[in-house]
Every structure is written in structure tokens, then in C-alpha cells.
Amino acid sequence: MTIASGVPVRDALDSAGVAIKASGSETPRLDAELLLAHVLGVRREALFLDPGHEVAGPQIREYQSLVRRRAVEHAPVAYLIGTRGFRRLDLAVDPRGLIPRPETELLVEVGLELPQGASVVDVGTGSGAIALALADERPDLRVTATDVDEGALALARENAARLGLDVSFAAGDLLDAVAGAAFDAVLSNPPYIPDGDRAGLPADVRDHEPPGALFAGADGLDVYRRLIPQAAAVVPLVAVEVGAGQAAAVEALMREAGLTSTEARPDLAGIPRVVVGRT
């Protein structure tokens, strides 16, 4: 993308949108708008208040650089601007952690149903999205977050400190990080993409997000096979996010582990996305 020095916002967006669309993005105009809003230091809506406003100098050069990284390197927009909205929070995101998705809000909704003062652990917290949303919306809950990846845990801690939210953090594999502690519920968005699906993923996911947060064996169920029996042995409620077509298998794993009541909750597309098991 080449933009002459000093061009109106509308022209900068049009040129960037063409370049990003050619790279295969499904949301080229939105990508262009989010990147320009970031460069200008304004909310996206402000771009439409004065579309003739000129972008020039260092700002246009920064914008060109970000658009090139999006179009050529397929870098995720969230990593380029450094933030992602999740429920009521603006979370800092970078390659240390998975970018939060809207579907994961279903797990937060399960946590919001817990009784007053309940204790909950978010296993594999990544950026801290689930744990921090619960601490924000239900400050009565006692929230703990774990991750085996020290980089991801550092990112979650940074988000908690910046947002001023009270969450305890522990490093370790699954529930080993909090062995001996008592909880009322385990929530988790574990890796669930089958290894063989790697090549078919969008480049911004496959090449930029942490593989340890994405892939989980031949059928994508490896982490569930370890986490569900471990969790069912110590808590009365387990809720996990699952991939398309995995809900029935995960419900079966929950019943085998002694969680006698299970349900699959659909996302906005109607795909069973969160499986909840209770004793």
C-alpha cells in the first residue's frame, strides 16, 4: 500500500482496505479502521465524524507499516494494536497469549451463575480473559488463574495489575498448579484443534498465535482427557470450551469421570461451544 503524504481518512482507509482484502482477510475494512484508529489515538467511531481529516507525516508512515504487516505478514490486528475487547474489559494482548474470542464469553456466563462467594479456577488462563472478566463482574467470587506457560501467566498478571482486578495466579500444568486447594468450579478454554488441521487454519492464527494454546493431539481432545478426570475428582462443576463437533465426545469424558449431569451450550452460530458437567 502506498499513500501520498497528507491524505483524507476516507482515502487512507480505502487504500488500506484494498491491500488487506488482497491478502485474504475476511474483514478488510474493519481491519483498516481499527489500525487507523489506533494510529490516530481515537476510537474507531471518530473516523466517521471527519472523514476528510488528513493523515500525514509520522502517522501515515506508521499506518503504512501496520497495514503492510497485516497484509503481507498476516499479523493479527489485535497483536498489531496491542489490545482486544472482551466483555467490559480492554485486555492487553501479544504473542505470549491466545487472542480472546467472543465464544469464550460463554464460559464467563457459566461462572456468573455461581453462588455468592464461590471459588473458581480458570485453567490455562492465557491473557487472563475469563478470570479477569469474572473478577470484574462478580467481585464476590474468589478467582484463581493458572497456566503452564510463564509468558502467558506474566501477560495475565500485567492485565490484572493494569485493570486493578483481584485474581490469584499460579504457574503449573492444569490443576497441578493449585494442588490441595479447594474450589467450587473449574473453567477452561484449553487447546482443542487437531494437529492435522494446522495447515487449514488462517495464516494469522497458524503463524502468529502460540501453538501450545491451539493444538491438542490427533483429535484435539488430549487436554480434555487429562483435565476432566483431574477436575471432576475435586470440584462439583467443570465447564470447558470445545471445538466444532467435539461436544459429544467431551460430554462422554465428563460422564466417565463422574460428572453425571452434562449440557452443551451453543454459541451465536448455533455450534455447541461450552460443555458443562456437574456432579
Amino acid identity at 139 = P
Q: How many domains does the chain have?
A: 2
Placement of cell 487512507 in the chain = 12
Q: What is the CATH number of the domain that holds 15?
A: 1.10.8.10
Go through 251-277 and write b for each residue having 16 or more CB atoms within 10 A of its CB, e for each that does not. bebbeebebeebebbebeeeebbbbbb
List CB contacts of 176: < 8 A, sequence separation 6 or more.
Answer: none
Q: CA 205, CA 66: separation in Å to the nearest integer? A: 17
List CB contacts of 268: < 8 A, sequence separation 6 or more.
Answer: 102, 103
121 in Cβ contact with 146 (< 8 Å): yes
Is the same domain home to 115 and 53? no
3-state secondary structure of 51: coil
Q: Identify whether 150 is part of a domain.
A: yes
Amino acid identity at 232 = A
Is the same domain home to 153 and 245? yes
Is the same domain home to 18 and 136? no
Q: Residue 211: its pLDDT value, please?
A: 96
Q: Residue 5: its pLDDT value, please?
A: 55
Q: By residue range, what is the domain housing residue 199?
A: 96-278
Q: Residue 46: its pLDDT value, please?
A: 87
Radius of gyration of the chain (CA): 21
Q: Identify whether 145 is part of a domain.
A: yes
Q: CA 274, CA 263: separation in Å to the nearest integer? A: 8
SS3 content of the chain, % helix, strand, coil (to 5): 45, 20, 35
Is the same domain home to 16 and 114? no
Is the same domain home to 68 and 111? no
Q: Identify whether 89 is part of a domain.
A: no
Taking only the tens of pLDDT, the chain with its 279 residues reads: 444 457 889 999 999 999 999 999 999 999 999 999 999 999 999 898 877 788 888 999 999 999 999 999 999 999 999 999 999 999 999 999 999 999 999 999 999 999 999 999 999 999 999 999 999 999 999 999 999 999 999 999 999 999 999 999 999 999 999 999 999 999 999 999 999 999 999 999 999 999 999 999 999 999 999 999 999 999 999 999 999 999 999 999 999 999 999 999 999 999 999 999 999
174 in Cβ contact with 123 (< 8 Å): yes
Q: CA 104, CA 19: separation in Å to the nearest integer? A: 30
Is the same domain home to 177 and 110? yes
Grid cell of 92 as nine digits: 492487553
Helix (H) or strand (E) run with residue 147 in it: strand 142-147
Is the same domain home to 152 and 61? no
Is the same domain home to 136 and 239? yes
